[in-house]
Structure 1
Amino acid sequence: MQFHTVDAFADGRFAGNPAAVAPVPEFPPVPVMQEAAHRIGLPTTAFVVPRHTAEYGIRWFTPYAEINLCGHATIASARYLFTRPENAGQDRLTFVSDNGILHAEREDDLVGIDLPAAPVTPADPPPGLLAALGVEAVACHVSSDDVLVEVASPEAVSAVRPDFGALARLPFRGHIVTAAGGADFVSRTFFPSLGVDEDQVCVTAHAKLTPYWAARLGRERLTALQLSERGGRLLVEDAGDRVRVLGTAVPRPGTGELEHIDETRGALR
C-alpha cells in the first residue's frame, strides 16, 4: 500500500497538520485500514477510492480509531488528487463519505472545502472541564460532540497545558480553546479520547469556531491561527448553514509504502 504525506495549512511560519493520503482501488477491510493508519502514525490517514470523474469515496482513520470527518486530511487528499493526470483541468473534486458529501476547490494556491456549519450553544462549564484544561473561561459553549471554551487572550490559549487523561474521561469528542486576536481569532484543539492529544490544525473545529467568531466580529470571512506546536493558518468563511475553510497543502517529497496487505487475515504482514 502506497501513501503520500501532505502538510495542510503550512506556510513560512507554520508547519501545518500532516495527513497521509492512501489511494486504493477499493476500501480494504477496516482492520487493514486501521493497522495502516497506526503504522503510518500521522494524525489522520485518508483512504480514497475513485468512483466517477472527479469523485472519490473517502474514509478517515487516526492511529487508533476511524472518525466520521476529517477536514485537513480531505484538503490533503484534494491537493494530491489535483496533481493526478485524470484530474487535469479539474478545479473541483467531490468526496463521498458515510457522513455526507464534501466538495474541494482550488482557489489560487489554496485548497478549500465546505462543510456543514455546527453552531454551539451557551452552557455552564461541565464539572472538571476547566480544571482539566487549566484555564479560566470567558464563555463556554457546547455542540453535539465538542465543547468550546473562550479565554481572555491568545497568550492564554498558548499557555494551556491540559490534563489529557482527565479530558479523555469527559463526555466529549473534542475540546476547543479559543480567543480573539492573533489574527481574527486563535484556537487549540484536543482529542485525547480519539488518541490525538492535540490536533495540530483541526478543520472540523472551525465548523464551530467560524459561526461563533463571525457573529462576534460581524464579518463573514476571517483569518484563523491554530497555536499548536506545528501551528497553522486558515482562511474561513461563514456561509450560513455551511462553512468554507481554505488553506495551503504542501506535499512532502517521495512516496511511502507499507508492507503487502493480506486481506484474508485482515492485517499487514
Structure 2
Amino acid sequence: MVTAYQKDLKSKRSPLNKIKLYQIDAFTDKVFGGNPAAVCVLEQWLPENKMQQIAAENNLAETAFVVKQGDTYEIRWFTPTVEVDLCGHATLASAYVLFKYYQHPTPNIILFSPRSGRLTVEKQDDALTLDFPTDTYEAVTVPEVLVKAFGKAPLEAYKGKTDYLLLFGSQQEVEGFNPDLSLVATVGGRGVIVSAPGTEVDFVSRFFAPQAGINEDPVTGSAHTTLTPIWSGKLGKTILTAQQLSARKGDLTCQYLGERVKITGQAVTYLTGEIEV
C-alpha cells in the first residue's frame, strides 16, 4: 500500500534523463591498455555546463558527446575541466561505439566538430583509421620554464596550435622524464609533447597537460597530427609506426598526407552503462 508520504515524496522528485554511456579503451587491442574514453550518444545536445559536469564526474582524459545529424555526426570533447578543440582517442572510441552498438551501415563515418571541422573514421576489420587535419606549427625557442620542468633542454622545440613539442635524442630519455607539472602548467595552451626516435617503432612520445586537467595522457591521437609531419620529414617516409610511452601504452600507425594525417589503431569495450542526469 502506497502511503501519503510516499506519494508526496514521489511528486517532489525531479525527472531524470537516462543517457547510455560507454567506456572504451582506445589505441589498444586489450582492456586496461591504451587510453580510456567515455562516449555518450545523444538525441540532442545537452547544455554545455551539463556536459562539462558529466566529463568531470567521469574523470577520464576525455568524454565525447555525439549527436546524429542526417548522415553525419556532430562531436564535442571535454576533459574533466575544459572543452578541447580536437581529441583523437575519444573520436576513435566514438566511432567504435557507433559501429558496434549503433550498427552504422557503411565502413566510413563522417563527423563534424565545431572547432576542428570535418573528420572521418574508416573501419577495416578491427582497425579504425582517423582522418584529421595536419597541425600547423613552427620552430620556437624552448621556454626556459620547460627546460627547468624537464631538467634538460630538447634538441628542437616546436609550437603547434595548442601544444608545445620537444624533441630529444633517445627513447630512454623520454621514458625517464618525471617533469615538474606545476611548471608545465604555466606555459599555457593545452599541453606539452615530448618525443624521440623509437627502438622498436619509428618514434615514441609522451604527453603532459596539467593545464587541461590531465597530468599525463595515456595515448594522445591529436598530438600525432603534429608528430607525424615532423617525423615524416626527418625519417623520409610517409607511413610511420608510433608508440606512446605512458604506463598503459598505446600503439598507432600514422600516415602523412600533406594537409591531412591518418592515424590508425584499435579499440575495446571496458564497460557499458547508464547515467542519470
The range that moved more, 112-121 or 172-181, is 112-121
The Cα of 1:197 is off from its aligned counterpart by: 0.9
**Cα distance, 1:13–1:234 mapped onto 2, change above 3 Å:** farther
Q: Which residue of 1 aligns with 2:78?
A: 61
Deviations 1:225-258 (A, max 9, x none): 00011110000000011000010011124x2222
Q: Which residue among 140, 143, 146 is the counterpart of 1:129? A: 146
Q: Give the match for residue 236 of structure 1.
A: 254
- Could you tell me which residue of structure 1 aligns to residue 112 of structure 2? 96
Sequence identity (%): 40
Task: Identify the residue that residue 30 of structure 1 maps to in structure 2.
Answer: 48
Say if 1:135 and 1:151, in contact at 8 Å, map to a contact too.
Answer: no
- 1:177-216 to 2 correspondences below 5 Å: 177-182=194-199, 183-216=201-234
Local SS of the residue matching 1:83: helix
Distance 2:138 2:49 in 1: 37
Amino acid in structure 1 at the alignment position of 2:48: V
Scaled by the length of structure 2, the TM-score of the pair is 0.89
Q: Kindly state the Cα deviation for residue 109 of structure 1 after the two structures are TM-superposed.
A: 1.2
- Which residue in the other structure is 1:156 paired with? 173
- Corresponding position of 2:11: none
In 2, distance between residues paired with 1:177 and 1:27? 35
Q: Given that residues 11 and 233 in structure 1 are in contact (C-alpha distance below 8 angstroms), is that contact kept between their aligned partners in structure 2?
A: no
| Deviation digits for residues 188-224 of structure 1 (CA, Å, limit 9, x no counterpart) | 0111111011111111110000000000000000000
Match of 1:77 among 57, 71, 94: 94
67 and 179 in structure 1: CA distance in 2 versus 1, 3 angstrom threshold: same
Q: Is contact 2:25–2:32 with CA below 8 Å preserved after alignment?
A: no
CA deviation vs aligned residue, 1:147-193 (integer Å, no higher than 9, x gap): 11111211100111111111111133210100012310000011111
TM-score by length of 1: 0.91
Distance 1:14 1:106 in 2: 22
Task: Work out the CA distance in 1 between the residues paired with 2:269 and 2:152.
Answer: 36
Aligned residue pairs, count: 257
- The farther-off stretch of 76-85 and 228-237 is 76-85
Task: Measure how far apart 1:14 and its partner are.
Answer: 7.7
* Cα distance, 1:13 vs structure 2: 10
- 2:52–2:78 contact (8 Å) kept in structure 1: yes
Corresponding position: 1:4 with 2:6: no
**Residues 188 and 211, structure 2, Cα contact 8 Å, conserved in 1:** no
Q: Report if the CA contact (8 A) 1:14-1:233 is conserved.
A: no
| Structure 2 residue identity aligned to 1:138 | L
Maintained 8 Å contact 1:11/1:232:
no
Over alpha carbons, which structure has the higher Rg?
2
Secondary structure in structure 2 of the residue aligned to 1:187: strand
- Structure 1: 5+ residue runs without aligned partners? 262-269
SS of 1:167's equivalent in the other structure is helix
CA distance in 2, matches of 1:85, 1:61: 22
Residues 154, 180 of structure 1: 8 Å contact kept: yes
Structure 1 match to 2:164: 147
Whether the aligned pair in 2 keeps the contact of 1:200 and 1:229 (CA below 8 Å) is yes
RMSD: 1.5
